[in-house]
Amino acid sequence: MNELHCHLDGSIRFHTLQQLATRQRKPLPIPREITFHKGMSLQSALKKFELTLSVLQQPQHVTRVANEICEDAEAIGVHHMEIRFAPQLHGGASIERIVDAAIDGLDHDSNLILCGLYGEPPEMLNKLVEVAKPRPRVVGIDLAGGPLPTHKWNIFDYIEPFEKARRYGIGRTVHAAEGRSPKEIEVAINFLHAQRIGHGTTILENQRVVDLVREKNVVLEACITSNLHTGVIDNIGDHPIKEWIRQDIPVSICADNTLLSNTDLSVEIMHSMLRCGLTDEDVEKTYNWGRQALFRR
């Protein structure tokens, strides 16, 4: 198994979250208050990260959580993993020091993706690309979160940093069409040179986009339970992953946030088979697509 879409701040162990909160004299988290639930909006889900981020401001805590995520992934049979996070949200040290702290926690089968956020100044994305450049364990950049009408900057404003990442040989993935227009996928591929798409749930609504994804061999990072929680799908069985595979749209199954969605990659694969109807052959295809889509430097 290969895990291509796992957020560090959404995948902290609950015991670790409690322990760090206690040490930092923060209110103890309650499971039902921290975890996602069915049908919440994306913006409501994003607010849940505030608590986990609050205990992950110091480099040593970032190192610990990165290491524990790797341990947990190895325990369920994950062979290769890419952990993503937005180091600019961890204010206890410089971005460079926070990234190095995360690298210190990785095992030899894991790498990092740095996340810029929709609505951030393009200069921040440029900064992340420059931080990634001399660090081979940082294999990709991402545009994460979701666009809002109130944002000063839109997806087209991030063309420059993504073009720079391509020149540097850094992988590119973009959160797109997470219940929104599939045209986001088209823009991400044609203008941001995305090699992978996070979520992409509405792709089947636009045949031109389907054809583009197949032509460019862009892999969709499917996060089934996460999509249920953010209200993108009404039931796990409604996820379009089965139809994606039938139409030969490359896809890899991912967990997204193991704590916040109370899941892991093995659970997501089980859901895809028992509730979405994937066969053993289908799952094997997702393994192969995922392995081929790993970012390498």
Structural domain of residue 120, as residue ranges?
2-293
Q: pLDDT digit of tens for each residue in the chain (297 aa)?
A: 999 999 999 999 999 999 999 999 988 888 888 999 999 999 999 999 999 999 999 999 999 999 999 999 999 999 999 999 999 999 999 999 999 999 999 999 999 999 999 999 999 999 999 999 999 999 999 999 999 999 999 999 999 999 999 999 999 999 999 999 999 999 999 999 999 999 999 999 999 999 999 999 999 999 999 999 999 999 999 999 999 999 999 999 999 999 999 999 999 999 999 999 999 999 999 999 999 999 999
CA gap 72, 51 in Å, rounded: 21
Active site residues: 178
Where residue 28 sits, what CATH number does that domain have?
3.20.20.140
Against a cut of 0.95, is the pTM above it? yes
Number of domains in the chain: 1
Enumerate residues 6+ apart whose C-beta is below 8 A from 187.
Answer: 155, 156, 176
